[in-house]
Structure 1
Amino acid sequence: MADSNIEYAIRRIADQAYLWDDDLDGRYVSWEDDEDNASWLDTEALALGLAEMDGVAHEGADGPVLDEGYEVVSRQWRYEEDWTEED
């Protein structure tokens, strides 16, 4: 994970499903309802690169651009040992 404690994934807007790519190589891809099953990556750029490899983005002037109907989502993460009872 990145030092920022933020991770990024691709979500299909129509059904709120998350992109999952088992080895991050474009060979086995699925759309998952549970965000915990998404392919979460350290940077937005890595998430966009995965989207391009998996066919939901295209190369733009400044790098990959998501096709219509997809979005980059982010979430903050913490180590499990840092959780409190209120979490």
Structure 2
Amino acid sequence: LSEEGAVQVFRPISNNDLIVGAVGVLQFDVVVSRLKSEYNVEAVYESVNVATARWVECADAKKFEEFKRKNESQLALDGGDNL
């Protein structure tokens, strides 16, 4: 479903959770419905305290690693492994 662009999947770097990002609350219901009808998967979702996603880049590898270390609990990778 994420390949279609309807949602994005994020993987926090500090744990094994998955976060599904969507524009609009109804999109989550669409995902649950499609998982059931197309893949026979029963899914439930719960909200997380995230409102905005930002992509982070830094030319200085040392500063980038320091930033990641200090903010690890707030960082996730997208489907392309971008921070």
Flag whether TM exceeds 0.5 (same fold). Answer: no
| TM-score class normalised by the smaller sequence | 0.3 to 0.5
- TM-score normalised by structure 2 residue count: 0.33
Higher relative helix content: 2
Greater share of strand: 1
Q: Larger Rg: 1 or 2?
A: 2
